[in-house]
Amino acid sequence: MPGPQRPLIKVGISTCSRAVGAQETLDAVRKELADRGLEADVMVTGCWGLCYAEPIVEVAHPGRPAVLYGSLTADKVPQLIEGALAPDQVGVVPELALAVVGDEPLEGVAPLRSMEFFAGQERRLMANCGVSDPDSIDQYIARGGYAGLAKALGMTDEQVIAEVLESGLWGRGGAAFPTGRKWEFLRGAKVTPKYMICNADEGDPGSFVNRNLMESDPHLIIEGMAIGGYATGASYGYIYIRDEYPLPVERTETAVQQARERGLLGDNVLGSGFAFDLEVVRGAGSYVCGEETGLIASIEGARGMPKIRPPFPAQAGVFDKPSNVNNVETYANVPLILREGAAWYASVGSEKHKGTKMFSLSGQIQRVGILEVPLGTPMSDVVMGAGGGPPEGRSLKAVQPGGPLSGIVPASDVGIALEPEPFKERGMFMGSGGLVVMDDSSCVVDLAIYFEWFAEDESCGRCTTCFAGTRRLLEILKRISSGRGRSSDPEIMRLLADTMRYANCVHGQAAPTVVMTMFSFFEEELNEHLYNKRCPAKVCRELVRYEVVHHSDKLPEAEAICPTQAVVRENGSYRIDQGKCIKCDACREQAPYAIALVDEFGAM
Amino acid sequence: MAKLTLDGREIEAPEGAPLVQVIKDAGVFISNLCYIDDLPPYAGCRTCLVEIEGAPTLQLSCTTQIADGMVVRTDTRPAKDARKAVLSLILSYHADRCLTCHRVVKCKPGDTCLRDDVVTHRCITCSKNYRCELQTTCEMVEMAGFEPWEGEDRTYYELQQPESDRANPFLEFDPQMCIICTRCVRACDQLRHTGAITLAGRGFSTRIEFGAGGPVHDSNCDFCGSCIDVCPTATLMEHPNKWSATETERWAPTTCTSCSVGCSINLGTRKGRGVIVRPDTAANPVSDKQICVRGRFHYDAVKPKQRLSQPLIRRNGGQEEATWDDALEFTAARLTEIRERYGPEAIGFLGSPLATNEENYLLQKIARAVVGTNNIDSTAGAVARAAASSLRAAFGSEVLPADMTQLARSKTLLVIADDLESSHNVACLRCKDAVVNNGARLIVVSARRGEMCDFADVWLQPRPGEEAAVVAALADAVGGKAEPRPLSPQVAQALPAAVELLTAARDPDSSGSRPLSVVQALPHLGAQEAGATTAAAANLAVAALGKEAAGSLFVLPQEANVWGMRDVGATAEYLPGYHLTGDDSARKTLEQAWGAPLPTASGLTFEQMLSDDKLKALLILNDNPLFFAPAKPRISEKLAGLEFLAVIDSLPTDTAQAAHVVLPDVGAFGKEGTITSADRRVLRMHAATPPQGEAQPAWRILGELGTRLAQRLKIGELRLNYESPSEIMDEIAQLVPLYSQATYREIESGAQQPLNGLGPNKAEIQSVATIAAPADDGFTLTTGRSLYTSYEGAALHSPEADKLHREEFVEIHPADAKELGIAEGDEVTLKGISGELTIRAHITESGQPRMLYVPLYYDGGAVTALFEDGQASAAVEAAAVSG
């Protein structure tokens, strides 16, 4: 591809960058160019995954490597344009620059590879993310898109499945079931029509890898589904996107339209006689719609409740017809496998697990973002290395690997490989790739309360063991958190967890995981709550109180701000009236030196 | 069949069947609180866990399908413990008042709680106590010793519980008792196709809601009570008598007499009073587990003390109580006198479709063999006679082999009924079953919009009176005749689609479904039009199916026992067993059998009896001309002009109040006997309640009266006194081939009777005399049976007859209402030729412009005053009541 003849400015527009003003940045870039009468192309791209550094603007001069500029809010645009495009300048603004898209430093700006965030990455699925325009099918095709589909159409359906089987690809949604095997089930189904369904109901808090793929490279998913349709005999597809994702819906719908116009979808895909079309369905907003049969029920227009198995989706899925449900990321792998071959695909990864996996980093971490690493990469490389670990002054406490039902990995185990087995051994799930990092300011009982609340609130209401079991766990956890825990509680919770495994779907079965991992890895902290009525992290509100521990000039301000007049002045000194205090923390904010949070025994 | 081992026992079961069903059928207890027999599993309660050899964990028996060689254990320690653990979760959010009380072992049903200070919640505050599935399950699973959260505060008591809904007269909905098993949701949707109940909310806030979450009566619930039958707790309960029903003493299997489907029900009684009705699945397979609001709740429409308890004789300007001896002697004497003065032709008899076969038989026997007249009929006679005569013209017989259990297996359905949902609710349900479960195509011919129209592929909406013409046009088209018939534009437009479906019905089909079922609900009024419609329907069946036609034509009379009456000879033209009165050899055979001479003169129908002044005396059994017969003012005058009027009834109906003698009968639930359903099933009725006061069952009254009459008239050896209705049926079985296997010793209640030569012997097309549609300028009034009003309540003009007050209106089309200046609920006066009626207006698009509809049962049949003899619809003037 020949380089641009004019300077090219790329502005990443995605959900996360829009949240910090990327749209304004884009407008400002256009305005600034017009005002200055500068000649440059402006292009909208997807997202590099550098969420911590959004908005990101890339400036490329003909014949030179492009430079990425981070945190480029609209107010910095004049400086950027001035420095990077004004004719008398060098074309690089080092003080705003993040990295050079290339291998060599440029004007003191380090290359992308040297950034910790990019160091361990193997960007295959994300090859186009932040680079190309998601709304342009031409750019996708120019970068090798739909070659996989074309190649597949030249093979038999069995060969396609064999290729996928050989690659070792397994479902990225969390279940880790071999994709090729799943496709074989559907291929074997006698009833027609058959359906290919893409699960884009990414509901785990802290997971946003699918969103990034749909926003940055929607054609990759469409191509993967079309290949799947060809391999299994499915003639129609649904992409079920959660309604909270308006931008992915918009971009995917555009992409589907474009693919139809180019004959890449429709009655006669690429003139091969193979018919495949698909539509985008907007999810109705329930966590369990991310469970494949719940998703099927939702597509059918029914209440989003996971169904009873048997029958399995491959026998009777959507509208009682054979169906296959895969995650966005799973489908995204398929075109690459077909285009580059299974051997290439398996060239990275661990001994048992081949290929790459995308992860999103969030929580109490320095660099929030999305990255792609080979399977088997140590989690510490991702969390502590790329992500930079917890904020300064804090230490790592735990990582929640893939959704609220996946359990919590203690800091001591942060070095485990990112592949299913190490998680399974610990009674957890690797999940779909949302790594939520928690530092030592979190309390494990408080976390368990949140996760059980989430599991209870999102239960579909079918299984007693799920909606009543989570409720019981929640009640017991709340009791422990308020210092009223009983010595019999762990036993009851274990019995509950045992009983809850008899739920219909994985939501109910996995709901007690977090409690079980708490028993396995955080028993000491739990016992502190249970027996000593102490919350070591000082999070559980009923186990802590505010006290005046020093004198300070700020105390009158604390007295003034207290909404319940709990900061009392007596004989010139201050104390907190515990009966009045509602633990709102306002006083401590005013007088952090003088007022402290202490536990039951007055320990700070 | 697959072989499996269940708790060490070898049993056989169909491959693929749900294991829970097999375990239950094998008589082994398995806790299950959400499974409904024969429906797909829901698997919500998770209490039916069992151990299956080879499975890694315990398995739910409802989702496990039977496979050959399966080894199942329900009784292992882990399975029992797991079931207890799951059940304890259910109990955490359900009131435990009946489970944990320390006094529970000391209490007996009905004990008043001594309520010491430890007992805070009392079992007697739950109306499901002692008959609760959850309670029984807890006992069977031995929850008593299993208290995993000892000292726990149950979630139930931590939460503010929702209010219960007791706003309607039928169904109580108490959500705090709900365990979210969703049986009601599925019963309403999959068994009733109503869908009034939904699952709302999520997580622990998941709850059951009616309609959009408002009160039950604001939803589309039609109070069939199917949800009550499946509810395992006290969440859904009957409103009437729910406390009394806790102590139900006896269950009597009997039959609902609200329509001709003849649903089998079990009536539970306490202290001699009906307190609860449940479907009786052991008898009529058409109704099976389903009944309607009438069957379930109308047992309670009339209180025992409202029934007649003493014979009455008209004396001193009023009806005075009399002894049985006086009343019977008086009646016998008066009838004898009149017979002697005017001859037997001056005496008429009215039987009733509400009376049993045995009673109707006995009545006609008295008329013919004792009094010597064929003057026997009923107010339901004319319509039935007209329909029967059309059937005879088509098939050579009015007894059709059609079987209503086959409705649900139909591939195409033609329903000719004004509102089948209301008139024959369970038959309608079976049609819906065909549409929903069998993918049947449905064509509805109905002047008013009914629920059936929502299920229909094609709705043909004739003008009132145009039904016969529409069906005849369909028959012509299917039969390949192109006889142009002038049809209303809205019918003509939809007709081709209907013809296409009916024509396609003949295509061969390998599914084993029935190609076509034609269902006609007979109206109450309008014999000629009903007969024409039946003729057209028969033509259509013949045109579509040829010789098979008779088995696919369902002619449903309105009242319960219309066909039975005709079978046993309670009709002027036929002796028992369908021998014409003019048939000498048949008459001779009967004379021999009875031992008495029989009249040769043909009898008078009901209309003929009151057409002139020749009739001097009338004996009415359970019939109510002042309720059912058109031209009410004239009928009233005629009845008053009779020299003698005797009424046998359990209620002081308008007709009974006009009588010289009233002989108190017992109500339908106090009777032994049989009735015959629309598809010729002979259904047993068992006495569930004792007679009120001195009331006697009508068969005994007739026997006694007949004997006294026979003595006075010096008729020789004639059997009129029977020990029980069983002996009467023995006699009927000898005379009517259709009932040869209906003796009480042999009868299988609910089975279709063998036709024994009475069945169809041809399949012919007949000409259909269609009646010109009424002129368009005036209003046309129609009437019919609607769902909620009880006959017994209406016959007493009880304000409770329509407990929901859904039927106390005249339905007016919005366009007409606008023209007349009428708003919803305004009073409207309807003026017919001989009467008028003032009634509140209900503005609805269910009818058509220029069409009015008043339910027949409104205010004791008040609307019949506006109709003339033989009319199906009446021309009326309508005006808003000013002021």
Find which of B149, B158, B159, B198 to mutate to test the A interface (most A CBs within 10 Å of its CB).
Answer: B149
Q: Which domains does chain A have, with CATH numbers?
A: 8-114 (3.40.30.10), 137-344 (3.40.50.11540), 356-439 (3.10.20.600), 444-531 (1.20.1440), 541-599 (3.30.70.20)
Mean pLDDT, rounded, for B846-873 = 91
Please determine, for residue A3, whether its predicted confidence score (pLDDT) is greater than 60.
no
Mean pLDDT, rounded, for A160-169 = 95
Alpha carbon of A465: minimum distance to chain B alpha carbons (Å):
6
**CB < 8 Å to B206, chain A:** 459-461, 467
Asked if A460 and B86 come within 8 Å (Cβ–Cβ), the reply is no
Asked if A469 and B45 come within 8 Å (Cβ–Cβ), the reply is no
**CB < 8 Å to A459, chain B:** 202-204, 206
Residue of chain B nearest A508, judged by CA positions: B203
Asked if B204 and A503 come within 8 Å (Cβ–Cβ), the reply is no
Residue of chain A nearest B33, judged by CA positions: A464
Asked if A499 and B86 come within 8 Å (Cβ–Cβ), the reply is yes
Q: What residues 427-466 of chain A have any CB closer than 8 A to a CB of chain B?
A: 456-465
Which member of B65, B90, B202 has the closest CB to residue A460? B202
Predicted pLDDT at A1 = 43
pLDDT digits (tens, 9 = 90+) for B600-622: 999 999 999 998 889 999 999 99
**CB < 8 Å to B86, chain A:** 464-465, 499, 502
| Burial of B56 per CB tally in 10 Å (0-12, 13-18, 19+) | exposed
Per the listing, tokens 């598809």 go with B679
**CB < 8 Å to A486, chain B:** 151
Say how far apart CA B387 and CA B403 lie, in whole Å: 18
Asked if A464 and B90 come within 8 Å (Cβ–Cβ), the reply is yes
pLDDT digits (tens, 9 = 90+) for B117-150: 555 566 777 888 888 999 999 889 888 767 655 5
Interchain contact A475–B (C-beta under 8 A): yes
Say how far apart CA A361 and CA A373 lie, in whole Å: 13
pLDDT digits (tens, 9 = 90+) for B361-372: 999 999 999 999
Predicted pLDDT at B750 = 86
Residues of B with CB under 8 A from a CB of A: 40-47, 49, 57-58, 60, 63, 65, 82, 85-86, 89-90, 92-93, 148-152, 155, 158, 179-180, 182, 199, 201-204, 206
**CB < 8 Å to A488, chain B:** 150
Q: What residues 484-513 of chain A have any CB closer than 8 A to a CB of chain B?
A: 486, 488, 492, 495-496, 498-499, 501-504
Alpha carbon of B13: minimum distance to chain A alpha carbons (Å):
19
Predicted pLDDT at B178 = 94
CA distances from B824 to A232, B781, B811, B837, B880 (A): 60, 18, 10, 17, 11
pLDDT digits (tens, 9 = 90+) for A382-439: 999 999 999 999 999 999 998 889 999 999 999 999 999 999 999 999 988 899 999 9
Asked if B180 and A309 come within 8 Å (Cβ–Cβ), the reply is no
Alpha carbon of A472: minimum distance to chain B alpha carbons (Å):
8
Which member of B41, B47, B49 has the closest CB to residue A308? B41
Predicted pLDDT at B99 = 75
Alpha carbon of A515: minimum distance to chain B alpha carbons (Å):
17
Asked if B148 and A495 come within 8 Å (Cβ–Cβ), the reply is yes
- Beta bridge partner(s), residue A196: A237, A324
Which member of B44, B92, B203 has the closest CB to residue A472? B92
Please determine, for residue B568, whether its predicted confidence score (pLDDT) is greater than 90.
yes
**CB < 8 Å to B43, chain A:** 308, 462-463, 504
Interchain contact A211–B (C-beta under 8 A): no
Alpha carbon of A537: minimum distance to chain B alpha carbons (Å):
28
**CB < 8 Å to B182, chain A:** 462
Identify the H or E element spanning B877: strand B874-880
Ramachandran area for residue B577 (φ above 0: left; ψ -120 to 50: alpha; else beta):
left
Say how far apart CA B813 and CA B819 lie, in whole Å: 10
Alpha carbon of A427: minimum distance to chain B alpha carbons (Å):
17
HEC secondary structure over B773-833: CCCCCCEEEEEECCCCCCHHHHHCCCCCCCCCCCCCEEEECHHHHHHHCCCCCCEEEEECC
Its sign, for the CA torsion B182, B188, B193, B196, is negative
Asked if A465 and B57 come within 8 Å (Cβ–Cβ), the reply is no
Please determine, for residue B230, whether its predicted confidence score (pLDDT) is greater than 60.
yes
pLDDT digits (tens, 9 = 90+) for B162-182: 999 999 999 999 999 999 999
Asked if A463 and B44 come within 8 Å (Cβ–Cβ), the reply is yes
pLDDT digits (tens, 9 = 90+) for B689-712: 999 999 999 999 999 999 999 999
Asked if B204 and A467 come within 8 Å (Cβ–Cβ), the reply is yes
**CB < 8 Å to B77, chain A:** none
User: In terms of Cα–Cα distance, which of A44, A433, A46, A9 is closest to A217?
Assistant: A46
**CB < 8 Å to A490, chain B:** none
pLDDT digits (tens, 9 = 90+) for A520-569: 999 999 999 999 999 999 899 889 999 998 888 899 999 999 999 999 99
Residue of chain B nearest A285, judged by CA positions: B202
Asked if B86 and A464 come within 8 Å (Cβ–Cβ), the reply is yes
Asked if B203 and A286 come within 8 Å (Cβ–Cβ), the reply is no
Contact B446, B453 (CB under 8 A): yes
User: In terms of Cα–Cα distance, which of A491, A596, A487, A495 is closest to A548?
Assistant: A596
Measure the N-to-C terminal CA separation of chain B; round to a whole number of Å.
75
**CB < 8 Å to B85, chain A:** 495, 498-499
Please determine, for residue A310, whether its predicted confidence score (pLDDT) is greater than 90.
no
Percent of chain B residues past pLDDT 70, beyond the cut: 96
Q: Calculate ∠ Cα A18-A21-A22, nearest 5°.
A: 65
Cβ atoms < 10 Å from Cβ of A495: 16
Alpha carbon of B291: minimum distance to chain A alpha carbons (Å):
28
Asked if A461 and B201 come within 8 Å (Cβ–Cβ), the reply is yes
Residue of chain A nearest B50, judged by CA positions: A502
pLDDT category at A2 given cuts 50, 70, 90 is very low
Please determine, for residue B883, whether its predicted confidence score (pLDDT) is greater than 80.
no
Predicted pLDDT at B373 = 96
pLDDT category at B250 given cuts 50, 70, 90 is very high
Mean pLDDT, rounded, for B152-166 = 83
Which member of A310, A461, A464 has the closest CB to residue B203? A461
Alpha carbon of A325: minimum distance to chain B alpha carbons (Å):
22
Alpha carbon of B203: minimum distance to chain A alpha carbons (Å):
4
- Average pLDDT of the residues of chain A: 92
Asked if B206 and A499 come within 8 Å (Cβ–Cβ), the reply is no
Alpha carbon of A468: minimum distance to chain B alpha carbons (Å):
6
Asked if B63 and A472 come within 8 Å (Cβ–Cβ), the reply is no
Predicted pLDDT at B481 = 83
* Per-position DSSP letters for B25-78, written without gaps between them: HTT-----SS--TTS-----S---EEEETT-SS-EETTTPBP-TTEEEES-SHH
Its sign, for the CA torsion B752, B757, B762, B767, is negative
Predicted pLDDT at B833 = 84
**CB < 8 Å to B49, chain A:** 502
Calculated CA dihedral for residues B231, B237, B241, B246, nearest 10 degrees: 40
Please determine, for residue B812, whether its predicted confidence score (pLDDT) is greater than 50.
yes
Per the listing, tokens 């009806």 go with B319
pLDDT digits (tens, 9 = 90+) for A91-148: 888 889 999 998 888 888 899 989 999 989 999 999 999 999 999 999 999 999 999 9
